Amino acid sequence: MTRNSSRYYWLCQLSGWGFVALVALGYNATTLEQRISGRLVGGLSIMVFTGILTTHLFREVMRRSGWLMLSVERALPKLLIGILITCIADTLIRIGLVDFFKLSVSKNKMDFTPRFLFITFDAGMVITPWTIIYYFYHYIEKSRKQQLDTLKLEALVKELELKTIKSHINPHFIFNALNSIRALVDENPVRARTAITELSNILRSSMQAEKLETVTFEKELNIVKDYLALEYIRFEERLRIEFEIDEETLDQPIPPMMLQTLVENAIKHGISKQVNGGKVKIVSGFCDDYHQLVIQNTGFLNGGLNGDGFGLASTKNRLQLLFGTRANFHIREINGDTVEAKVQIPIDASK
């Protein structure tokens, strides 16, 4: 909770219960024709104190138990039980404090049971609307945030498509690929036709990126394999490729073009800068409750994924919007001559 929201919450608590006390004071003074005395003010002060205390504790239970994230149908039974328990707790504390400080304004001493039921009903008249207001405030806020996240994601995916066309499937890459294919036309026509298909797959995938929030890892891996096959024509023996794929991860969802982005940066900023080339290794597996993707390449960390930092920023933003704050991404240099990019997507969030 931010400082502003915490301040707003306590302001609402104090003003809300203060208003209830003023209404009760006016009711006792006019309808019941009771004299405004120290006992009456003291009893109402205890009502305000116990009301704030018990509803605040009830609020903590709702927050820590995740009730605020539930749908109305699932939350309603829990809230009803919570309201009942909160009303009983409020009644017991209020009776105990009033009796301890001898602040009862009733001339006739009432038996405990009717007194308990009366005060519990009285507490329920306030705590029930308090709960409804608090729950639906957060329910509306959650819906608004989800809509905002969806709009952000759509804008980010559209931006990704434009950036992808400019920086990933760019004229320079296409020029290199076409030159490689042209060299194969006479030498190896079958391989040339295959290379044209691989290039077509990559272009089609990039153009469809704006339409999808996620794709299966298997589909993304196939595109990356096409991309690496084209790059192998250019680098030949300078490019060594290794895969370590757990087949059970193939149906896991990942953002489209994310793996492509990381692999292309591995070649662009790693392999292409090495005189003798190097190795690109792609690892996919499960680690604890995460789908873990690791891309390793020969080279050195030069401060970012690419020249303008788009790859790093887009990967982090898309992971957070799609899978929440539990998704992780970081890049580091290991063993002195290898750069490792690691993505972790929570399995339960990806379902």
Q: pLDDT tens digits for 199-214?
A: 888 888 777 665 677 8
Would you state the pLDDT for residue 91? 96
9 three-state secondary structure: helix
Res 205: pLDDT: 75
Where do the domains of the chain lie?
3-148, 169-350
For the chain, which ranges sit under pLDDT 50? Answer: 162, 165-170, 303-308, 350-351
What pLDDT, on the 0 to 100 scale, is given for residue 3?
A: 73
CB–CB of 256/313 below 8 Å? no
* Rounded Cα gap, residues 322 and 342, in angstroms: 17
Q: What is the mean pLDDT of the chain?
A: 85
Q: What is 122-181 written as a DSSP string?
A: HHHHHHHHHHHHHHHHHHHHHHHHHHHHHHHHHHHHHHHHHHIIIIIS-HHHHHHHHHHH
Question: What is the structure's pLDDT at 305?
Answer: 46
Which pLDDT value is given to residue 304?
45
pLDDT of amino acid 161: 56
Range 169-350: architecture per CATH: 2-Layer Sandwich (3.30)
Handedness of CA 246, 243, 343, 170 (dihedral sign): negative
pTM score: 0.51
250-272, pLDDT tens digit by residue?
Answer: 999 998 888 988 888 888 888 88
Q: Give which of 222, 207, 217 is closest to 350, Cα–Cα.
A: 217
* Nearest Cα to Cα of residue 109 among 117, 99, 101: 99
Q: DSSP letters along 13-63, please?
A: HHHHHHHHHHHHHHHHHHTS-----HHHHHHHHHHHHHHHHHHHHHHHHHH
Q: What is the pLDDT of residue 308?
A: 43
Count, residues in the chain? 351
